[in-house]
């Protein structure tokens, strides 16, 4: 996929815009200690949405900017489905956008 990095960046922007629209986008960065987690998705120190915003998206953008290889497997949609069950906002479109991001990352070998 020739434009894969650009497509991934565009999908991240769509997800961020949807998070902002749903008021799920944090305006305050978590404490530095939250980033020291050794748990997957920093599950023990931040919410899934915080992890997306403050860990996954910045790391992905750094890889794109430095023209480094992007992951070829991403399966965050199932976790998003579980996490979003607790939310009062209508998250169907956000979930669709996260699934689209997974698909952009997942490359057949």
CA–CA distance, 91 with 107 (Å, rounded to integer): 26
Residue 107: per-residue pLDDT: 84
Residues of the chain with pLDDT under 70: 1-2, 109
Say how many domains are in the chain: 1
Residue 61: per-residue pLDDT: 98
Which CATH number belongs to the domain containing residue 85 in this structure?
A: 1.20.1440.40
Q: Which domain holds residue 78?
A: 4-105
Residue 108: per-residue pLDDT: 72
List the end-to-end C-alpha distance of the chain, in Å, as a whole number.
Answer: 12
Residue 42: per-residue pLDDT: 85
Residue 1: per-residue pLDDT: 53
H helices of 1-109, where? 4-21, 48-51, 57-65, 77-84, 92-105
Rounded to two decimals, the pTM is 0.91
């Amino acid at each position: 996929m020739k434009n894969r990095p650009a497509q991934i960046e565009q999908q991240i922007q769509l997800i961020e815009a949807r998070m902002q629209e749903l008021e799920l986008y944090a305006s305050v960065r978590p404490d530095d200690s939250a980033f020291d987690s050794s748990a997957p998705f920093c599950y023990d120190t931040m919410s899934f949405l915080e992890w997306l915003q403050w860990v996954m998206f910045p790391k992905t953008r750094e890889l794109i900017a430095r023209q480094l290889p992007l992951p070829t497997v991403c399966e965050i949609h199932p976790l998003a489905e579980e996490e979003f069950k607790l939310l009062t906002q209508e998250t169907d479109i956000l979930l669709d956008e996260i699934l689209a991001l997974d698909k952009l990352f997942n490359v057949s070998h």
